[in-house]
Amino acid sequence: MKSLFKQKEFSIIAIIIVLSIILSFVSPVFLTIGNFIDIIEANTVMGILAIGMTLIIITSDIDVSVAAVTTAVAVIIGSLFGYLPDSWLSLVIIFIAAPIIGLVIGSVNGFLVSKINIPAIVVTLGILNIINGLVLYFTNGRYLNSTNFPESFLAFSDFELFGIPILIYILAIVAILTWYILKHTFIGRSVLAIGGNQQSAVRVGIDYKKVKLFVFAYMGFLCGVAAVAQTAYTTAVDPNGLLGLELMVIAAVVLGGTNIHGGRGTVHGTLLGVLLLAIMENGMILARIDTFWQKVVTGAIIVFAVSYDHISYKRKQAKLAKIEVEV
């Protein structure tokens, strides 16, 4: 029981409960099933990207290009709609094409990081700027609205099963798939091993480069899935709609208990981190707090989460050093 209370996930649940109670007094609408469904649906894209980012941060790397890649894939599939037939076949094509396009871009990131040994922050920051520039060049900053979308895709966007929007099911599928990869596959265990102790993992035969390539390629794959979800949610493509989302994604992952130095992280923890940020954002909107203050609060959360994680890491390292000296 004591170990349960010490887990970071438990503290996040406690914060979510307390915050929900407070916000229920701010607005009676907050503690309703409909509002919570809306919160989850609105943050499906962040949830999908945060799940992919979890694997990358576990390996002690980072990817700041996720929002740009998602936007690029959304622009591509939005443009494809004009050439596809108005049938369910177009929906199948989009669901195949979008993840593949994202996978290719993610593989480029992974190749540069794993094979050329360029730091991930440098690679993904460069890719972010390249993609943002190309997107603005091809779109001139203009929206692609639903007038070009097939009716089948619009029907998919509005589809609900048992009162729950289809996008939430997509998030659940991504979460279960990633959990399974981490817990029950060799590549998943290799991700945790590389993050925990890279030298030891390499010595036991784990291919460090393949693991790095996998996590960035998988991140790209999920960017493609997120692009479909974003397009379905907004029924439009906004070239600037996801600017800055990568910071929220990283914050959600760190808040969810993933060690910024690598080696530890869970899918359910990340989902809790996403939910916490989503509830805070929704609460500030219901409380009619100005947008710029929302950004201030988000920035403060990021600084606090990363600082807390770093301090905890240094304390653990100090304890290990003390034990080694005593031995």
Residue for token pair 């005593």? 326
Longest Cα–Cα distance of the chain, Å, equals 72
What angle do the packed helices 208-234 and 151-158 form, to 10 degrees? Answer: 100
Domain assignments of the chain as residue spans, ordered by start: 38-241
HSE of 106 in the Cβ direction (CA atoms, 13 Å)? Answer: 30
Token code pair at residue 50 = 């945060």
What is the phi/psi pair of residue 306, to 5°? -70, -40
List per-residue pLDDT tens for the chain, 327 residues long.
444 445 666 777 888 888 888 888 877 777 788 888 888 888 999 999 999 999 999 988 898 999 999 999 999 988 887 777 777 787 888 889 999 999 999 999 999 998 888 888 999 999 999 998 898 888 887 777 766 777 877 888 888 888 889 999 999 999 999 999 988 898 888 888 887 666 777 677 777 888 899 999 999 999 999 999 998 888 888 888 788 888 889 888 988 888 877 777 889 989 998 998 888 887 777 777 777 777 787 777 767 766 766 676 677 666 655 555 555
What is the phi/psi pair of residue 160, to 5°? -130, 145
Contact 309, 260 (CB under 8 A): yes
The single-letter DSSP state of residue 160 is E
The predicted pLDDT at position 316 comes to: 67
HSE of 79 in the Cβ direction (CA atoms, 13 Å)? Answer: 11
d(Cα 140, Cα 103) in Å, to the nearest integer?
Answer: 25
Contact 35, 258 (CB under 8 A): no
Contact 161, 169 (CB under 8 A): yes
pTM of full prediction above 0.85:
yes
d(Cα 312, Cα 307) in Å, to the nearest integer?
Answer: 9
